[in-house]
Chain A
Amino acid sequence: MTQRNRWVLSLTASCIALLSIACTTDLTAVREWSKTSLEATQYSELVTTYANTPQRLKRYDPKKSLEITESWDAQIKLRQNQAEALKTILSAISDYMAALAILSSASTVDYSKDVGALNAGIQNLNAGISNETLGAVGSLVNAVLGTAAKAYQKRQVADIVERANGPLQTILRGELRNIISQDFRGDLSNEKTSIGGYFKDKLRVKEGAPPTSAAARVALEEWEELRLEENAKRTEAVDAYLTVLDKVAVGHQKLYDNRNELDAEKLIKDLFSLIVEIRKQIKILAAT
């Protein structure tokens, strides 16, 4: 056996060993789940709604004294600053999902073009290696490299999932959820009462006040309906976004629990069913 044949044989053996590891290295579910989570968490309209609520409430507040106007304006400014901070937190979640999607993407470890260039270079060396052998070696190098890279990639994804799970769960299940579930929802409930109070006041026939004309009544009723519909849509968006946060938290916890077997059949099934559920919420968010 020539030196070259021994080398090819040894390479083949390495390939078989590595391929046996790589056959079970499929991060498609991880990548798809990360991409869907990225798409869902990018929705930041809720934060804008929260920041603008005092502006809308101010409209329904009939008392226009300087002190009250200044108090609303101070609150509007405060909320604009808070909105920036909230958007930064939401974008950290999106950035993480984007990084996880790229890290788990098959194209990140696809070196076939690079190996192709290397093979072409070797062929140009004209070192007495037949095209057939060179082709076989090239395929093997490609397989070995791809396999090793995929195994390495899997370990890197597991490492990142392990490091991120603590802070991510604290954000998703902790104060971010409380802010959206309690504060945003409470705020919208406040706005709903304000809308009702404001329009009812205009429609009430009060002692000593001139009656409202029929046309004005119809217009006011329509405006009230419109404002309440907007409020209901915003509330619907809050519910949808909360579901997104919950599904993302559940999905990442599953990734963490299975980080050493990221291609486990049960995990893949669970992630794909979470993707379907998150997609439903994305549709709702897009419609609000």
Chain B
Amino acid sequence: MKLTKEDARAIADALRKAAEAVDKYLDDNYKKISREEYESLYESFHTIQRISSFATTVAVGLALDALTKPAAELKKVIKQAKEKIETLKTIGHVIRVVAGVVDLAASVMARDPNAIVTSVTNLGNLMKETEDV
């Protein structure tokens, strides 16, 4: 039978409680038991703790598997949100491009060669930004 995250959590929890019980027993009885008994129980205490910690690692691993799908879905939404932000930014950019065109038209109408060159350069830069957006 396959181990579930709930099983792993139940095991970790039971072992944790067992370790606490051994610790309490040692605390209450260390003066009454032999050195060998003490050492053996103290070693058991650490073994139980080790397995409990490992069971927690297993539970987290299994829980992470369950998070993969919603996390991937959320990432998709983040991508959509970023696209929407870009769209909103593009609106401002489009206005700037229109302003650049109008500026160029004004320079042409004024027959000012220097202004025309500047306007064309500015418009070119704006168009380049459009490609980047």
Residues of chain B contacted by A182 (CB below 8 angstroms) = 9, 59
- Which residue in B46, B61, B66, B105 is a CB contact (below 8 Å) of A82? B61
Kindly state whether residue B63 has any CB partner on chain A within 8 Å.
yes
B99 within 8 A of A: yes
Chain A residues closer than 8 Å to B89, beta-carbon distance: 108
Q: Check A109 against B61 for contact (C-beta < 8 Å).
A: no
The distance in angstroms between the C-alpha atoms of A62 and B124, with both chains bound, is: 72
Neighbouring A residues of B12 by C-beta, 8 Å: 183, 186
Q: A125-B102, A167-B74 known; A117 and B96 CB under 8 Å?
A: yes
Instruction: For the complex, give the distance between the alpha carbons of A166 and B106 in Å.
Output: 53
Contact present for A96 and B78 (CB under 8 Å): yes
Contacts of B93 in A (CB 8 A): 114
Considering the complex, give the chain B residue whose CB is closest to the CB of A198: B46
Given A103-B81, A118-B95, A174-B66; A190-B74 close (CB under 8 Å): no
- Known contacts A164-B74, A190-B53, A117 near B59 by CB under 8 Å: no
CA distance A275 to B46 in the complex (A): 44
Question: Quick one: CB contact mask for A261-279 with B, threshold 8 Å, 1 for yes?
Answer: 0000000000000000000
Partner of A114, one of B56, B69, B96: B96
Tell me the interface secondary structure of chain B in the complex.
Answer: helix
Whether A200 lies near B95 (C-beta < 8 A) is: no
* Chain A residues bordering chain B, tally (CB within 8 A): 77
Asked if A11 lies at the interface with its beta carbon under 8 angstroms from chain B, I say no
Q: List CB contacts (< 8 Å) of A86-134 with chain B.
A: 86, 88-89, 92-93, 95-96, 99-100, 102-103, 108-109, 111, 113-115, 117-118, 120-122, 124-126
A145 cross-chain contacts in B, Cβ below 8 A? 91, 95
Please tell me which stretch of A20-28, A70-78, A217-225, A243-251 contacts chain B, meaning at least 4 of its Cβ atoms lie within 8 angstroms of it.
A70-78
A-B contacts, CB under 8 A, total: 203
User: In the complex, A75→B61 CA distance in Å?
Assistant: 11
Distance to closest chain A CB from B83 (angstroms): 10
CA distance A116 to B80 in the complex (A): 30
Say yes or no: is B129 at the interface (Cβ < 8 Å to chain A).
no
Q: A114 and B99 in contact (CB under 8 A), knowing A193-B16, A197-B45?
A: yes
Asked whether A176 and B67 contact (CB < 8 A) given A96-B78, A164-B74, A186-B13, the answer is: yes
Proximity string of chain B (1-43) to chain A, C-beta cutoff 8 Å, 1 when within and 0 when not: 0000100010011001001100100110010001100100011
Give bound CA distance, A176 to B63, whole Å: 8
B117 at the A/B interface (Cβ < 8 Å)?
no
Would you call B60 and A50 a contact (CB within 8 A)? Answer: yes
Q: What 10 new A-B contacts, CB under 8 Å, besides A95-B78, A178-B63?
A: A57-B50, A82-B60, A89-B67, A122-B102, A126-B110, A178-B5, A182-B59, A193-B19, A197-B19, A206-B38
29 contacts between A and B (CB under 8 A): A54-B57, A61-B49, A71-B50, A71-B54, A72-B50, A75-B54, A93-B74, A95-B78, A96-B78, A111-B95, A114-B96, A117-B95, A117-B99, A118-B99, A121-B102, A121-B106, A124-B107, A125-B105, A126-B109, A167-B69, A167-B73, A170-B70, A175-B5, A175-B66, A179-B64, A183-B9, A190-B52, A197-B42, A207-B35
Query: Which residues does A use to contact B, with CB under 8 Å?
Result: 50, 53-54, 57, 60-63, 68, 71-72, 75, 78-79, 82, 85-86, 88-89, 92-93, 95-96, 99-100, 102-103, 108-109, 111, 113-115, 117-118, 120-122, 124-126, 145, 149, 152-153, 156, 159-160, 163-164, 166-168, 170-171, 174-176, 178-179, 182-183, 186-187, 189-190, 193-194, 196-197, 200-201, 204, 206-209
